[in-house]
Structure 1
Amino acid sequence: MTRVTAGLAAALASLLIAAPAHADDPLTLAVDIPFEPFEYRLPDGTLTGFEVELGEEVCRRIQRECEWVEQGWDGIIPGLLARKYDAIMSSMAITDARRDKVLFSEPYYSNPSVWVTQEGREIDIEDTAALEGLAVGVQRGTIRDNYITDTYGDLVDVRRYSTGEDLALDVRTGRLDAAFMYYPLALSSLDVDAEGSDFVTSSSLIREPNRYFGHGVAVAFHPRNEALADQFNEALREIKQDGTYDELMHKYVDYDIKI
C-alpha cells in the first residue's frame, strides 16, 4: 500500500467512525452506573431505573431500538463528541459550560443536591469556621464537585471519587466528615433521614445557583444531531402529557422531580 493510499484509507476509516447512525440502527444511549434510582443493575444484571425506563419509552415512541452503553462520567462527553454513542441519558444537568460542547433536549427532571453527615454530627454549613479543615467528599467531574471546589475549596479538604458508589462507601465507613451528594443518591445509598439511619442531611435541598446546578437534567446529543434531539423533545412532551411520566416517577421516587 502506498503512503497516499494508506492516508486515504485512514481518512475514510475516521469518517466512518464519526458518521452518525442511520435511522434503522439501534439508538445507543450512554449511562454511568450505578446511580440509583435513575440507573442501576438488578441482582440478575438487568439494567433498570427511572431514566432507563424513560429512555426505553422514548425509543418506543420514536420507533427505535434502544441499546445502553456504560461509560464512566469523566469520559462521557468526550465519548459523545467522538460519536461512540448517540446520546447521553444519565442525569446530566444543563449548564452553560456543557452547552458549549453538547446539544441538550428540553429538561425532564430537577436535580437537587444535599449535604450529608453522620447521625449526631452537627455541621453548620453556614459557619465557615466550623467547616475549616473538614474532609468533604464529592463525585469527581460533577456539578457538585465544581460547586464545592469553587465555594469551599479554600476551607475544606475536597476528596473526589470516581463514582457515587465509592463516595457513599467512604461516608459509611467514616472516612469523611461530610459529603455533598446528589439527593437521590443519598437516599438510595445511605437511607438519609430515615428512622434508624446513621446518616442525616445537614442542609435543605440545593438547586441554585444556576451557574453550578444548571437548569434541570436533560438528554445530551452531539451538536450536529438536531433531528434526534427534536424527536426526543416531542416524545418527552407526549410522555409528560399523557401521564406516563408521573407513573414512572412515582415508581422510583416518593418526591416530585418533575420540571
Structure 2
Amino acid sequence: MKKAWLTLSALALSLSAAGAMAKDYTEIRFGVDPTYAPFESKAADGTLVGFDIELGNQICKELKVSCKWVENDFDGLIPAMGAGKFDGILSSLTATEARGKTIDFSDRIFSGPTSMVTKKGSKLSITDLSTLKGKTVGFEQGTIQETYAKAKLAPAGVIIKPYQNQDGVYADLKAGRLDASLQDKLQAELGFLKSPEGADYVSSENIHDPLLPAATAIGIKKGNKDLQTLLNKGIKMMHDDGSYLTIQKKFFGDLDLYTE
C-alpha cells in the first residue's frame, strides 16, 4: 500500500508541476517595427496604427488580456524575442522555413506577395534580370526580400543594398540612390504609392519564387505552446465573430488578404 501511495503521490506531483509550467497570460507583449504602413506605422501623435496593430489589439480583446507593443528594428525582432523583450512578433512577419528553425508561428494572419517598386517609365523588370544588371535595389534587412536579393539578384550582377527600416529604403529611392526597391506588394501599393512622394513610382507584378512565401503569422519563441494555442484561439475568435473582416475592410476595402 505504501508503495502504491508513493506512486500516486509522485504522479500527482508530476501533474501539478506540469500545470504550474503552463503560463496564464494576462498581458501579451508584441514586438513591432513601425515603418511599414499600412500594416504598422506611427501616427502624427506618435501612436501606433495599422492593420497588424488593430489585429493584435483585437486578439488581446478577444482573449481578455492587455496588449503591449514594443518597438524594435525588424532584423532584431527575433533575437529580441529570444532575449525576453516581448512574447510575440506581430510585424508583417512571413512564416518561412528558415525562420521556422529558430521560432514557432501562430496560424496564418494574412497573405501578401512581394513586388518591386521602380520609377515610372524606367523599363526595369523583375522578370528580366538583365535590365537590373548594374542597378541598385534596396530592401529592409532581415526580410524575405533580403534573402531573395542575395540569392537571385546579386548573382545576376544587381547591386543590392540592405536598410535598417523601410522608411530608409523609400528615402533613398526618392533621392535617386536606389533604382528599385523590394517589399510586400500591398505595403507598396497601399502605403508608399498612395503617398505624394510615391506618385512617380509603380509596383511590379507579383514576384513568384520559393524564397518569397506569402503566408504571414505571429512569431513565437520556440516551444512556447501555451502562447501559440492562446494566439490561435484569438485568431479563430476574430474570424468567427467577424471582427477580422471589419478590420480588413477598414484598411483594404474589398481586398481579401486572408485567402491565399
AA of the residue aligned to 1:52? I
Separation in 2, partners of 1:73, 1:193: 22
Pairing partner for 1:159 from 158, 161, 164: 161
Alignment pair present for 1:225 and 2:221? no
Contact 1:165–1:189, Cα closer than 8 Å, also in 2: no
1:30 corresponds to which residue?
31
AA of the residue aligned to 1:66? C
Separation in 2, partners of 1:161, 1:24: 35
Separation in 1, partners of 2:89, 2:183: 21
Aligned pairs for 1:168-187 (under 5 A) are 168-187=170-189
Aligned pairs for 1:96-115 (under 5 A) are 96-115=97-116
Alignment pair present for 1:237 and 2:236? yes
* 1:241 positional shift: 2.7
SS at match of 1:153: helix
* 1:101 positional shift: 0.7
Contact 1:28–1:68, Cα closer than 8 Å, also in 2: yes
Separation in 2, partners of 1:180, 1:145: 8
Return the index of the structure with the highest Cα Rg: 2
- Distance change in 2, residues 1:240/1:24 (3 Å): closer
Contact 1:193–1:199, Cα closer than 8 Å, also in 2: no
- Distance change in 2, residues 1:121/1:209 (3 Å): closer
SS at match of 2:29: strand
AA of the residue aligned to 1:48? V
* 1:26 positional shift: 2.4
Name the % identity: 31
1:78 corresponds to which residue?
79
Separation in 2, partners of 1:81, 1:237: 26
AA of the residue aligned to 2:140? Q
Contact 1:119–1:197, Cα closer than 8 Å, also in 2: no
Which digits, 9 at most, give the CA deviation of each residue in 1:97-124, with x for residues without a partner?
Answer: 1111111001110121111111121113
TM-score (norm 2): 0.84
* 1:25 positional shift: 4.5
Which digits, 9 at most, give the CA deviation of each residue in 1:152-211, with x for residues without a partner?
Answer: 1121000111100100111112211111122233224431699x920012x3123x433x
1:45 corresponds to which residue?
46
Alignment pair present for 1:253 and 2:252? yes
* 1:129 positional shift: 2.5
Consecutive unaligned residues in structure 2, runs of 5 or more: 1-20
Contact 1:83–1:222, Cα closer than 8 Å, also in 2: no
Contact 2:117–2:181, Cα closer than 8 Å, also in 1: yes
* 1:22 positional shift: 5.3
* 1:33 positional shift: 1.1
1:9 corresponds to which residue?
none
* 1:215 positional shift: 5.1
Separation in 1, partners of 2:194, 2:149: 20
Which digits, 9 at most, give the CA deviation of each residue in 1:12-41, with x for residues without a partner?
Answer: xxxxxxxx9953642211001121111111
AA of the residue aligned to 1:121? S
Number of residue pairs the alignment of both structures matches: 236
Contact 1:30–1:87, Cα closer than 8 Å, also in 2: yes
Which digits, 9 at most, give the CA deviation of each residue in 1:117-143, with x for residues without a partner?
Answer: 111211133333322111111111110
AA of the residue aligned to 1:209? D
Consecutive unaligned residues in structure 1, runs of 5 or more: 1-19
* Aligned alpha-carbon RMSD (Å): 2.1
AA of the residue aligned to 1:219? I
Superposition misfits of 4+ residues, deviation over 6 angstroms: none
Separation in 1, partners of 2:252, 2:92: 14
AA of the residue aligned to 1:218? A
SS at match of 2:99: helix
- Distance change in 2, residues 1:95/1:181 (3 Å): same
1:148 corresponds to which residue?
149
